């Protein structure tokens, strides 16, 4: 039997709802249950693919090619299992499905309404594509009280009755602000937030209360009284120094015991040893090194969430702390070599991550040139690989105007739009005029590695599968020229057609990848390319 846990958030956003949901999932998995995590984002975009990563954080890509919210990244990293495209939806997608059905005549004769048509569509999503899961955890994006959330809350309320209320649990995440002058934790915003939920017919069964100081017993009782939640199910959640310690902390607070008690089921096993070993590794890192990230959004934001995590995991694996220096790519444009060298003072390695559009690309090319000329270990991801190819064409092959057709400037197109390609034996097509959303090469593709390369050594296996999210590719018309000039194509599609990885001979680590390795890294299994990079800079 499948039980459903719904996670909502109140008071303010950014409380780490995704992380809390993932932690609950990780705990249940440690008890031997089969867990599935899902995200329902109420906004009207069909998916986050066209949203600014500055606003919404990175776009996470699943193995089967869905562009999703970054919370799916937390789910994968905490549960150590792949999410699927069926695990993420949005208001836009739900309404779109309903409207398509309306035009098709599926509701013929009926007036199409929020209830039951939109709520049914949401409920169908919640129960779709399930087999024998013990638990499905559904996180509802946004904050209770948002207009967009209304119909989602109504749908989960109905759903909890459809499956019998005792098989569903509502967890609500709130904030207890600490008022310094009064030296008091304030419970009122939590009370209001729960009241708001109650208005929608949802009685939370557990409250996870974020705060900076520990909740006193009297405050716990007060919240229990006003919010109608058992005192033991009011869980204090203080800020933590490392999110990967959350499962152990939640366990200490009794979250798992309370969950199992609520559903009246027994644990199958209780094995937290992975998390204990991880915590030990976290506390035993010594020494540090610095990696430069040359980016368009020069700040430590969620725009590069998975990348930061992958670097962190590789640091743990190597027992070293990796500091990141964020460099705004535009600061490296139209400046002298000395200025560039000054930016790289004390830097042991460079990553140019993925990106879209021309802004900052010349600065990134200057950074890559510096890395190539100074044998600074380099990892180029997606756009970072394309720019490494352009840099090589310009400065090693002397094709002065080498460029990508993405940048809409006259150039020798060593990177260009691929209009046709092969996916699992089927032809996929796109053109320059295709819609922006959903026309990328997305999801995992196999890649065959060349013997004797850094790539082959790092992965330790001849074939890999990595996730893509891009429109442009290395122009295969120039491949022979590149290889003659010394660029090694270290990874290709199995048919041998498409270059997926490039590297330079005689370098400790100078690797470009057309895919996003950061999406498959997790704290238990750091990604081999990042591990190899960090090994070379520690
Ligand atoms: N803008 C490039 C492309 O579309 C690279 C995309 C990326 O880095 N994810 O191919």
H helix intervals, 205-304: 217-227, 246-252, 255-263, 273-283
With the most atoms of ligand 1 within 8 angstroms of its CB, the residue from 387, 441, 466, 470 to mutate is 470
At 62-102, the pLDDT tens digits run: 999 999 999 999 999 999 999 999 999 999 999 999 999 99
Contact 466, 472 (CB under 8 A): no
Ligand 1 and 470: CB distance under 6 A: yes
Residue having the nearest C-alpha atom to atom 3 of ligand 1: 470
The yes-or-no answer on residue 518 being catalytic is yes
Annotated active-site residue 463? The verdict is no
407 C-beta closer than 6 A to ligand 1:
no
**Is the link from the previous residue into 116 a cis peptide, with omega within 30 of 0?**
yes
The CB-side HSE value for 177 (13 A sphere, CA atoms) comes to: 10
Could you confirm whether 516 is annotated as catalytic? yes
Phi first, then psi: give them for residue 420, nearest 5 degrees: -145, 135
Over residues 181-190, the pLDDT tens digits come to: 988 899 999 9
| C-alpha 261 – ligand 1 centre gap (Å) | 48
Instruction: Output b/e per residue, 253-265; b: 16+ Cβ within 10 A.
Output: bebbebbbebbee
Structural tokens at position 434: 């295709």
Q: How far is the CA of 52 from the centre of ligand 1 (A)?
A: 14
Kindly give the distance from the C-alpha atom of residue 465 to the centroid of ligand 1, in angstroms, as a whole number: 18
406 lines ligand 1 (CB under 6 A): yes
Does the CB atom of residue 356 touch ligand 1 within 6 A?
Answer: yes
On the question of pLDDT at 430 being above 80, the answer is: no
Sign of the alpha-carbon torsion through 522, 528, 534, 538: positive
Residues in the chain: 538
Q: Helices in 67-110 by DSSP H: which ranges? A: 71-79, 91-104
Measured between alpha carbons, how far is 213 from 204 in angstroms, rounded to an integer? 23
Pocket test for ligand 1, best of 296, 351, 354 (most atoms within 8 A of CB): 354
The model's pTM: 0.93
In Å, the largest CA–CA distance within the chain is 75
Q: Quick: pLDDT tens for 232-251.
A: 999 999 989 999 999 999 99
The atom number, within ligand 1, closest to the CA of 356 reads 1
String of DSSP letters for 429-470: E--TTS-STT-SEEEEEEEEEPTTSHHHHHH-SSEEEEEEEE
pLDDT tens, residue by residue, 258-316: 999 999 999 998 899 999 999 999 999 999 999 999 998 766 678 899 999 999 999 99
* Local structure of 59: helix, strand or coil: coil
Q: Is the CB of 360 under 6 A from ligand 1?
A: no
Mean pLDDT value across the chain: 93
Marked catalytic residue, from 227, 382, 411, 447:
382
Segment 398-418 shows an average pLDDT of: 92
Query: How large a percentage of the chain has pLDDT more than 70?
Result: 95
Q: Which atom of ligand 1 is nearest to the CA of 353?
A: 8
């Amino acid at each position: 039997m499948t039980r459903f846990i719904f996670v909502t958030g109140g008071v303010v956003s950014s409380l780490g709802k995704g992380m809390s949901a993932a932690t609950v999932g990780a705990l249940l998995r440690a008890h031997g249950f089969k867990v599935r995590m899902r995200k329902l984002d109420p906004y009207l975009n069909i998916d986050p693919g066209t949203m600014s990563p500055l606003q919404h954080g990175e776009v996470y890509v699943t193995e089967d090619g869905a562009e999703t919210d970054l919370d799916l990244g937390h789910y994968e990293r905490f549960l150590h299992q792949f999410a699927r495209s069926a695990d993420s939806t949005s208001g836009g997608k739900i309404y779109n499905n309903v409207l398509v059905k309306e035009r098709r005549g599926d509701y013929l004769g009926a007036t199409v309404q929020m209830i039951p048509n939109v709520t049914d569509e949401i409920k169908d999503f919640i129960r779709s594509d399930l087999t024998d899961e013990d638990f499905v955890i559904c996180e509802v994006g946004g904050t209770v009280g948002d207009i967009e959330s209304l119909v989602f809350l109504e749908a989960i309320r109905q759903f909890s009755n459809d499956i019998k209320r005792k098989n569903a649990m509502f967890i609500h995440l709130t904030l207890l602000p600490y008022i310094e002058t009064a030296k008091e934790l304030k419970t009122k915003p939590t009370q209001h937030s729960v009241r708001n939920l109650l208005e929608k017919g949802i009685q939370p069964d557990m409250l996870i209360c974020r705060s900076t100081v520990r909740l006193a017993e009297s405050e716990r009782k007060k919240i229990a009284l006003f919010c109608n939640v058992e005192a033991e199910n009011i869980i204090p959640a203080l800020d933590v120094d490392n999110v990967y310690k959350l499962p152990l902390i939640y366990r200490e607070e009794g979250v798992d015991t309370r969950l199992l008690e609520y559903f009246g089921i027994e644990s199958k096993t209780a094995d937290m040893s992975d998390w204990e070993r991880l915590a030990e590794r976290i506390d035993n890192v010594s020494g540090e090194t610095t990696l430069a990230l040359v980016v368009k959004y020069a700040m430590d934001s969620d725009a590069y969430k998975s990348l930061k995590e992958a670097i962190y995991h590789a640091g743990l694996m190597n027992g070293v702390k990796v500091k990141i220096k964020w460099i705004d790519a535009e600061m490296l444009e139209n400046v002298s070599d000395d200025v560039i060298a000054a930016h790289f003072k004390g830097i042991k390695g460079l990553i140019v991550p993925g990106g879209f559009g021309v802004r900052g690309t010349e600065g990134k090319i200057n950074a890559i040139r510096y890395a190539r000329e100074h044998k600074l270990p380099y990892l180029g991801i997606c756009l970072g690989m394309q720019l490494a190819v352009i840099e090589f064409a310009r400065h090693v092959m002397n094709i002065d105007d080498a460029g990508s057709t993405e940048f809409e400037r006259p150039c020798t197109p060593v990177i260009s739009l691929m209009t046709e390609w092969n996916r699992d034996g089927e032809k996929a097509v796109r053109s320059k005029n295709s819609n922006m959303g959903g026309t990328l090469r997305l999801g995992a593709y196999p890649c065959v590695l060349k013997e004797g390369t850094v790539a082959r050594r790092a992965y330790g296996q001849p074939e890999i599968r990595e996730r893509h999210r891009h429109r442009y590719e290395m122009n295969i018309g120039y491949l022979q020229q590149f290889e003659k000039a010394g660029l090694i194509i270290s990874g290709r599609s199995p048919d041998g057609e498409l270059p997926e990885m490039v590297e330079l001979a005689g370098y400790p680590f100078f690797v470009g990848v057309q895919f996003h390795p950061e999406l498959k890294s997790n704290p238990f299994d750091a990604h081999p390319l990042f591990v190899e990079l960090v090994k070379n800079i520690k």
